[in-house]
């Protein structure tokens, strides 16, 4: 692979419907949607994430849209929780120091 093949976001491996897939620009898309103010339960979020990944050069077939949407919904929920105010305090209190 050439050095510039994967774009600024790099390639990230995730699981979609039990299969591992590589996606270009996933982290950039998650961050963009977060900064735009999308919440995990917002209508149209999953479809918009799939479209953003297509625009980043990923081939996602129409037949796999729903599987990608489900996987991306779960990833975005985790991303949102980890980046929301108070997330670091919550994780510190859960992990705790002994």
Please check whether residue 34 lies inside any domain of the structure.
Answer: yes
Return the pLDDT at 92: 39
Please check whether residue 59 lies inside any domain of the structure.
Answer: yes
Number of domains in the chain: 1
Please check whether residue 1 lies inside any domain of the structure.
Answer: no
- Euclidean distance between CA atoms 64 and 60, whole angstroms: 7
Strand partners, 58: none
Sign of the four-CA dihedral 30, 35, 55, 70? positive
Please check whether residue 3 lies inside any domain of the structure.
Answer: no
Return the pLDDT at 39: 96
Model confidence, pTM: 0.77
- Residue 49 CA, distance from chain mean position: 8
- Euclidean distance between CA atoms 87 and 28, whole angstroms: 20
Return the pLDDT at 93: 35
pLDDT in tens, 66-82: 999 999 999 999 999 99
7: tokens are 């774009």
Please check whether residue 77 lies inside any domain of the structure.
Answer: yes
Mean per-residue pLDDT over the chain, rounded: 84
Please check whether residue 41 lies inside any domain of the structure.
Answer: yes
Return the pLDDT at 34: 97
Please check whether residue 2 lies inside any domain of the structure.
Answer: no
Return the pLDDT at 85: 86
> Could you say which residues of the chain have pLDDT below 70?
1-9, 87-98
- Euclidean distance between CA atoms 50 and 47, whole angstroms: 5
Return the pLDDT at 87: 61
Residues 6+ apart with CB under 8 A from 90: none
Range(s) of the domain holding residue 68: 11-86
């Amino acid at each position: 692979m050439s050095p510039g093949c994967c774009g600024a976001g790099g390639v990230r491996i995730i699981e979609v419907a039990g299969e591992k897939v590589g996606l270009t620009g996933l982290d950039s898309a998650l961050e963009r949607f977060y900064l735009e103010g999308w919440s995990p339960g917002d209508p149209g979020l999953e479809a918009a994430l799939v479209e953003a990944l297509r625009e980043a050069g990923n081939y996602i077939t129409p037949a796999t849209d729903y599987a990608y949407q489900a996987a991306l919904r779960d990833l975005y929920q985790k991303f949102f929780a980890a980046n929301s105010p108070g997330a670091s305090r919550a994780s510190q209190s859960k992990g705790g120091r002994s």
